[in-house]
Structure formats: C-alpha cells, structure tokens
Amino acid sequence: MPMPDCMLFPKELLPLSINSTAKIMYCLILDAVLNSGIKDENGTLFVYFPLTELAADISKCIMTVGRYLNELEKAGLIMRIRQEFGKPNRIYLLVR
C-alpha cells in the first residue's frame, strides 16, 4: 500500500506555547520552502505564500492567518520580508 503525501512536523514545535493551527501553518510553509527551491540573492531558501492561499489551505480567514503568522514571527520561527505593494511577502524559516 503506497504512503499518502506527508509533511514534516519538526519535534521542536511540540513544546512551544503557540496555537496548534499556527504549528500546522509552519509545517505548510516548511513544505512549500522545501519544494519550491526559490533562493534569494544570498542563496537562502524562501517562499512566496499569499495570505489567500494560506487561508484556503487551513480553512481560516485571512485575518486569522495574519494573526498566526505574527505568532510564528514572535516565536522566532519565521521572518517576513515585505515586497512591493500587491505582492506577497517573502517568508523565511529561521533556525532556532
């Protein structure tokens, strides 16, 4: 029987006192970063993940997604770099 598609869930997320949906969102971002292969001018991997796509993927509204992204940023798990108006932010995963 073939394995279904899976995502990585880093063990380091388990003890963190952040929302469980934020943890799932982190895993989605990690999966997108590993599969996208987009590198910046320094060779660091990142992903463009529009809020509307994240909201659809976790079945939440855009405001909730923004709140969870802020939570991930405050926890030191991601860094968002703003782009031009109308373009999605670059999201970098930070190593703790």
CA–CA dist 86, 28 (Å, integer): 22
Dump pLDDT digits (tens) for 22-71.
Answer: 999 999 999 999 998 799 999 999 999 889 999 999 999 999 999 999 99
Domain ranges, residue 30 = 15-93
Q: What is the reported pTM?
A: 0.87
Across the range 67-77, mean pLDDT stands at 96
- Tell me whether residue 47 is in a domain: yes
Residue 59 sits in a domain whose CATH number is 1.10.10.10
- Tell me whether residue 50 is in a domain: yes
How many structural domains is the chain composed of? 1
- Tell me whether residue 9 is in a domain: no
Within 10 Å of residue 86's Cβ, how many Cβ atoms? 5
